[in-house]
Chains A and B, each alone.
Chain A
Amino acid sequence: MQIVENSKIKEKLFIEKLSNGINVMILPKKTRKKYIVWSANFGSIDNKFYAPGEDVLTTVPDGIAHYLEHKMFEQENRKNSLDVLTSLGVEANAYTTNDHTAFLFECTENFDEALDEFMNYMQNPYFTDDNVEKERGIIEQEIMMYDDYPEWSIYMNAMRCMYKANEMNIDVAGSKESISKIDKEQLYKVYDAFYRPDNMIIVLCGNFEPKEALEKIKQKMTLEPYEEETRRVYNKEPDEINQKYIEKEMNISMPSVIIGYKDNDLKSDKVKKDIAIDILGTLLFGKSSDFFKNLYECGKIFSEPIINYEFSKTYAHVLIQLQTNYVEDVLNIANSQIENLKQNGINDEDFQIAKKKVYGNIVKDYNDVSTIATGIVSDYFKGINSFDYFEEFNSLNKEYVEKILKETFVEDRKVISVIKPISDKKD
Chain B
Amino acid sequence: MNKVSFEIKQGIKAHCIKTDSYKTDITCVIITTPLKRETVTKNALIPFMLRRGSNNFPSLYLINREMENMYGASFNCGIDKMGDNVVLKFYIESISNEYALNNENILRRNLESLLDIVFNPIQKNGLLNEEFLQTEKDNLRKVIESKIDDKDLYSFDACIAAMYGDDKFGLYKYGYVEDIEKIDIKNISEYYNFLIQNSKIDIFISGNIDEKEAKDFLNENENIKKLKPRTENYILNNEFTESKQIVENIKEVSEKMDVTQGKLVIGLDISSNIDNLQATGLVYNAILGDGANSMMFQNVREKASLAYSAKSTFVKQKMNVFIRCGIQIENYQKAVDLIKVQLDNIKNGKFEEDDIQNAKTYLISGIRNIEEEQDTEVVYYIGQEISKTNMSPDEYIEKIEKVSKEDIVNLANSVSINTIYFLRN
Indicate whether A147 sits within 8 Å of B135 (C-beta atoms), given known contacts A109-B365, A356-B68: no
Is B301 located at the chain interface by the 8 A CB criterion?
yes
Distance from A92 Cβ to chain B, minimum over Cβ atoms (Å): 7
Is A88 located at the chain interface by the 8 A CB criterion?
yes
Q: Which of B65, B71, B258, B361 has the most CB of A within 10 A?
A: B71
Distance from B257 Cβ to chain A, minimum over Cβ atoms (Å): 5
Q: Do A367 and B23 touch across chains, with their CB atoms under 8 A apart?
A: yes
Partner pick for B68 among A253, A354, A422, CB 8 A cutoff = A354
Which bucket holds chain A's interface residue count?
A: 35 or more
Q: What are 27 residue pairs bridging A and B, where the CB atoms are less than 8 Å apart in the complex?
A: A32-B368, A86-B292, A109-B368, A138-B302, A138-B308, A141-B328, A144-B328, A145-B308, A145-B326, A147-B260, A147-B261, A253-B146, A286-B68, A287-B68, A292-B64, A296-B60, A299-B135, A299-B139, A353-B65, A354-B68, A360-B70, A360-B71, A360-B73, A360-B95, A367-B22, A367-B374, A422-B258
Q: Do A251 and B327 touch across chains, with their CB atoms under 8 A apart?
A: no
10 additional A-B pairs beyond A253-B147, A363-B99, A422-B258, beta carbons within 8 Å, are: A83-B292, A89-B362, A91-B365, A138-B301, A141-B308, A250-B258, A252-B148, A287-B64, A299-B139, A358-B72
Instruction: State the CA gap A298–B293 with chains docked (Å).
Output: 51
Closest to A151 in B: B149
List, in ascending order, chain A residues with CB within 8 A of B139's CB: 299, 302
Instruction: State the CA gap A142–B95 with chains docked (Å).
Output: 37
A-B pairs, top 8 by smallest CB distance, nearest first, are A360-B71, A137-B305, A357-B72, A360-B72, A287-B64, A89-B361, A89-B365, A141-B308
Q: Do B261 and A141 touch across chains, with their CB atoms under 8 A apart?
A: yes
Q: Do A33 and B372 touch across chains, with their CB atoms under 8 A apart?
A: yes
Closest to A278 in B: B72
List, in ascending order, chain B residues with CB within 8 A of A137's CB: 305-306
Instruction: State the CA gap A250–B306 with chains docked (Å).
Output: 25
List, in ascending order, chain A residues with CB within 8 A of B70's CB: 360
List, in ascending order, chain A residues with CB within 8 A of B357's CB: 87
Chain B contributes a number of interface residues (CB within 8 A of A) equal to 64
Q: Do A288 and B68 touch across chains, with their CB atoms under 8 A apart?
A: yes
Is A150 located at the chain interface by the 8 A CB criterion?
yes
Q: Do A251 and B148 touch across chains, with their CB atoms under 8 A apart?
A: yes
Partner pick for B60 among A8, A293, A361, CB 8 A cutoff = A293
Instruction: State the CA gap A253–B71 with chains docked (Å).
Output: 34
Q: Do A254 and B146 touch across chains, with their CB atoms under 8 A apart?
A: yes
0/1 interface trace, chain A 332-345, chain B, CB 8 Å (1 if under):
00000000000000
Partner pick for A136 among B305, B364, B371, B372, CB 8 A cutoff = B305
Is A148 located at the chain interface by the 8 A CB criterion?
yes
Give the residues from 52 to 84 in chain B that come closer than 8 angstroms, CB to CB, to chain A: 60-61, 64-65, 67-73
Partner pick for A282 among B68, B71, B94, B374, CB 8 A cutoff = B68
Indicate whether A288 sits within 8 Å of B72 (C-beta atoms), given known contacts A31-B21, A83-B293, A367-B23: no
Closest to B374 in A: A367
Distance from A112 Cβ to chain B, minimum over Cβ atoms (Å): 15
Instruction: State the CA gap A83–B69 with chains docked (Å).
Output: 47
Q: Do A287 and B101 touch across chains, with their CB atoms under 8 A apart?
A: no
Is A162 located at the chain interface by the 8 A CB criterion?
no
Closest to B146 in A: A253
Partner pick for B72 among A86, A109, A356, CB 8 A cutoff = A356
0/1 interface trace, chain B 283-309, chain A, CB 8 Å (1 if under):
000000001110000100110011111
Distance from A347 Cβ to chain B, minimum over Cβ atoms (Å): 13
Is A235 located at the chain interface by the 8 A CB criterion?
no
Give the residues from 358 to 373 in chain B that come closer than 8 angstroms, CB to CB, to chain A: 358, 361-362, 364-365, 368-369, 371-373
List, in ascending order, chain B residues with CB within 8 A of A9's CB: 23, 99
Closest to A32 in B: B372
Is A359 located at the chain interface by the 8 A CB criterion?
yes
Partner pick for A87 among B61, B142, B293, B374, CB 8 A cutoff = B293
Instruction: State the CA gap A291–B217 with chains docked (Å).
Output: 37
List, in ascending order, chain A residues with CB within 8 A of B328's CB: 141, 144
Distance from A391 Cβ to chain B, minimum over Cβ atoms (Å): 15
Is A82 located at the chain interface by the 8 A CB criterion?
yes
Is A311 located at the chain interface by the 8 A CB criterion?
no
List, in ascending order, chain B residues with CB within 8 A of A427's CB: none
Is A244 located at the chain interface by the 8 A CB criterion?
no
Q: Do B259 and A251 touch across chains, with their CB atoms under 8 A apart?
A: yes
Distance from B111 Cβ to chain A, minimum over Cβ atoms (Å): 17
Give the residues from 129 to 186 in chain A that come closer than 8 angstroms, CB to CB, to chain B: 134-139, 141-142, 144-145, 147-148, 150
Q: Do B101 and A145 touch across chains, with their CB atoms under 8 A apart?
A: no
Distance from B264 Cβ to chain A, minimum over Cβ atoms (Å): 12
Indicate whether A288 sits within 8 Å of B65 (C-beta atoms), given known contacts A253-B149, A299-B139, A356-B72: yes
Is B145 located at the chain interface by the 8 A CB criterion?
yes
Distance from A302 Cβ to chain B, minimum over Cβ atoms (Å): 5
Indicate whether A90 sits within 8 Å of B372 (C-beta atoms), given known contacts A148-B151, A302-B139, A364-B24: no
Q: Do A252 and B291 touch across chains, with their CB atoms under 8 A apart?
A: no
List, in ascending order, chain B residues with CB within 8 A of A141's CB: 261, 305-309, 326-328
Closest to B154 in A: A251
List, in ascending order, chain A residues with CB within 8 A of B7's CB: none
Q: Do A356 and B101 touch across chains, with their CB atoms under 8 A apart?
A: yes
Instruction: State the CA gap A338–B334 with chains docked (Å).
Output: 54
List, in ascending order, chain B residues with CB within 8 A of A122's CB: none
List, in ascending order, chain B residues with CB within 8 A of A367's CB: 22-24, 374
Indicate whether A359 sits within 8 Å of B71 (C-beta atoms), given known contacts A253-B146, A367-B22: yes
List, in ascending order, chain A residues with CB within 8 A of B275's CB: none
List, in ascending order, chain B residues with CB within 8 A of A142's CB: 308
List, in ascending order, chain B residues with CB within 8 A of A254's CB: 142, 145-146
Q: Do A356 and B71 touch across chains, with their CB atoms under 8 A apart?
A: yes
Q: Do A288 and B369 touch across chains, with their CB atoms under 8 A apart?
A: no
0/1 interface trace, chain B 31-71, chain A, CB 8 Å (1 if under):
00000000000000000000000000000110011011111
Distance from A303 Cβ to chain B, minimum over Cβ atoms (Å): 9
Distance from A134 Cβ to chain B, minimum over Cβ atoms (Å): 6
Partner pick for B71 among A134, A148, A357, CB 8 A cutoff = A357
Closest to A361 in B: B72
Instruction: State the CA gap A31–B377 with chains docked (Å).
Output: 14
Q: Which of A135, A299, A358 has the most CB of B within 10 A?
A: A299
List, in ascending order, chain B residues with CB within 8 A of A87's CB: 293, 354, 357-358, 361
List, in ascending order, chain B residues with CB within 8 A of A385's CB: none
List, in ascending order, chain A residues with CB within 8 A of B398's CB: none
List, in ascending order, chain B residues with CB within 8 A of A282's CB: 68
Distance from A83 Cβ to chain B, minimum over Cβ atoms (Å): 6
Distance from B172 Cβ to chain A, minimum over Cβ atoms (Å): 14
Closest to A422 in B: B258
Is B167 located at the chain interface by the 8 A CB criterion?
no
Instruction: State the CA gap A150–B364 with chains docked (Å).
Output: 35
Is A366 located at the chain interface by the 8 A CB criterion?
yes
0/1 interface trace, chain B 132-163, chain A, CB 8 Å (1 if under):
00110011001101111101000000000000
Instruction: State the CA gap A276–B134 with chains docked (Å).
Output: 37
Distance from B113 Cβ to chain A, minimum over Cβ atoms (Å): 14
Q: Do A251 and B257 touch across chains, with their CB atoms under 8 A apart?
A: yes
Instruction: State the CA gap A172–B358 with chains docked (Å).
Output: 32
Partner pick for B149 among A252, A299, A302, A422, CB 8 A cutoff = A252
Distance from B45 Cβ to chain A, minimum over Cβ atoms (Å): 14
Instruction: State the CA gap A90–B60 with chains docked (Å).
Output: 43
List, in ascending order, chain B residues with CB within 8 A of A85's CB: 292
Indicate whether A356 sits within 8 Å of B308 (C-beta atoms), given known contacts A89-B364, A148-B151: no
Is A426 located at the chain interface by the 8 A CB criterion?
no
Indicate whether A107 sits within 8 Å of B73 (C-beta atoms), given known contacts A148-B261, A422-B258: no
Partner pick for B67 among A82, A253, A287, CB 8 A cutoff = A287
Q: Which of B69, B101, B292, B358 has the most CB of A within 10 A?
A: B292
